[in-house]
Chain A
Amino acid sequence: MNDTVESSGKRPGDPAYNFGYLDEQTKRMIRRGLLKAVAIPGYQVPFGSREMPLPCGWGTGGIQVTAAIIGPQDRLKVIDQGADDTTNAVSIRRFFARVTEVETTEETSAATIIQTRHRIPEADLRDDQVIVYQVPVPEPLRQLEPREAECRKIHAWSEYGIMHVGLYEDVARWGEIARTYDYPVMVNTRYLAAPSPIPKFDNPKMTGMAALQLFGAGREKRLYAIPPYTEVTSLDFEDHPFTVQRWGESCGLCGAGDSFLDEVILDDQGERLFVCSDSDHCRKRREEGHRGALAGHEEIRALEQADPA
């Protein structure tokens, strides 16, 4: 993670190349921002976001954070919606393979840096790993308070009472807190933060996590962080406590009953498959011999054999 100081980042005979795509000054600027973010857990640090070779909304913030911390010894895993073989994950992984030549992996336990969109891996992360979140809207107050200056004051003085207005509306209308993703959290009992659009299923994994959690929002030009072993609590009411969603089903391929499931429609006869969204977790379980109800199904075999790009 920190070997770029030794190498200048240049490659002999190729003046256009710099390790990790960004120039060294930019990387330093982002690292300074990250240090501040780690020092003040949950606080949004502004940074000079750069143009990246992909559009905003595709993970420009996460890519810049990864590019700033990656070193030649790192092993990178990129996931999108939990899977390694989705468009966003494949293209970002290929990008870093090309601009850093570091080893990439699909295995959660083998990675040192995991860049993610919309999920936290099912497997527990270790203290030698870093998870980088791609964040579209870093400001959790945005929907209730459109004024940026007012948002800063609310953060500065911890006047977070209005966040419960949205939760109240949910309970009044649906009888429960209906928000299922980007569920606001208090970090270290001080700063309110948006956990990026991960399902609230993953919120409990954030508290006390051994890995360092870094968040990058490219369009909004904000960095924030949750240091290892930090308390993260999801907002709720005393009489409507925070709960995560549960499925009546278990994974059709590996039989897991405790993972986050995606619903896949198989045909036009109403045939459906519930499958782990974390593809590495699912594959590992199948290798260990776990079998779900639909593991032998014809279409599923075709899906299983399809080669991820």
Chain B
Amino acid sequence: MTEGPLLRVDGLGHRFGRVVACDDIAFELFPGEVLGVVGESGSGKTTLLNCLAGRLQPTTGQVLYDMRATGLSDVYGLSEPERRLLMRTDWGFVTQNPRDALRMDISAGGNVGERLMVNGARNYGAIRNGATDWLERVELDTSRIDDRPATFSGGMQQRLQIAKTLVVQPRLVFMDEPTGGLDVSVQARLLDLLRGLVGDLGLSAIIVTHDLAVVRLLADRLMVMRHGQAVEQGLTDQVLDDPHHAYTQLLVSSVLQP
């Protein structure tokens, strides 16, 4: 493992016309580390994630990623085919709505296998085995490998999306509200699964959520956003148990206790 950071962000900002979505964000992410980004709705979390994941060119600042060949390089300085190659080999993106990332008219196995085929796999048996293996790892019934995702429940679709994302063994995964829209018991199982996978594979991840319980479970470090700015950063337990910024205090105290 390299000693340096996997991802370094400097002075990142993005504005939509006069609206500032995020402003002057800076952090480093090290291999194997999970960073949580929390904040209220409209605080610029998703825009930040899109900028980091190469999907949205930021207005200001730089996103540097530790490329296998060239070391830390500016993601937006790469040519588009290079960036697309990076996005489909080294990176993964888990969306809130699995229907955005899955092909609903292609079988579960085909969905997981797609990522392998896109990266050049041309042996049906190997693709099939890879897909079966990953369905098992996300605790989906392998007998449903030829069923379409449209026949799956929301939680199963989300697990399928995670299998599809992780099958190519990315080094960095971006997650946008991975548990949003799921009921509490399904959320708990999904979080358990994610925690296990992230630990086993030594993945780095950036998880955007408005749910403090999610980051408490998954994230090593936490960044709190408000009005497009990172108001507080630190170790997750530290930030949640001893919040310094007034907004973080408000956020932590407004969690419902059953």
Contact = CB atoms under 8 A, between A and B. Distances in A.
* Majority secondary structure, B binding face: helix
Interface residues of B, number: 23
Contact of A168 (B84, B120, B124): B124
Interface in A141-174: 153, 156-157, 159, 161-162, 164-165, 168-169, 171-173
Contacts of B98: none
A288 interface: no
A229 interface: no
A165 B110 contact: yes
Contact of B118 (A153, A161, A169, A240): A161
A239 B81 contact: no
Interface residues of A, number: 17
Interface stretch (B40-48, B101-109, B212-220): B101-109
A55 B48 CA distance: 51
B122 A237 contact: yes
A153 B87 CA distance: 15
A238 interface: yes
A98 to B, nearest CB: 46
B123 A168 contact: no
Contacts, number: 55
B119 interface: yes
Interface string B1-22: 0000000000000000000000
Given A157-B84, A159-B84, A168 B118 contact: no
B89 to A, nearest CB: 11
A161 B117 contact: yes
A238 B128 CA distance: 13
Given A165-B110, A168-B109, A172-B110, A239 B123 contact: yes
A237 B121 CA distance: 9
Interface string B101-139: 001001101100110011111111101100000000000
Contact of B113 (A157, A165, A238): A165
A238 B146 CA distance: 21
A238 B114 contact: no
Nearest to A162: B118
B114 A165 contact: yes
A162 B117 contact: yes
Contact of A159 (B113, B118, B146): B118
Contact of B107 (A162, A172, A237, A239): A172
B118 A172 contact: no
B146 A168 contact: no
A172 B123 contact: no
A237 B106 contact: no
A157 B122 contact: no
A27 to B, nearest CB: 37
Contacts of B128: 172
Nearest to A169: B110
B123 A169 contact: no
A153 B119 CA distance: 16
Q: Which 10 A-B pairs have the closest CB atoms?
A: A161-B118, A237-B124, A164-B117, A157-B81, A238-B123, A161-B117, A165-B114, A168-B110, A169-B110, A239-B124
Given A161-B114, A239-B124, A239-B125, 16 more contacts: A156-B81, A157-B84, A159-B84, A159-B118, A161-B119, A161-B120, A162-B118, A164-B117, A165-B106, A165-B114, A168-B127, A171-B124, A172-B110, A173-B146, A238-B123, A240-B124
16 contacts: A153-B84, A157-B81, A159-B81, A161-B120, A162-B114, A164-B117, A164-B121, A165-B114, A171-B124, A172-B110, A172-B128, A173-B107, A237-B124, A238-B124, A239-B124, A240-B124
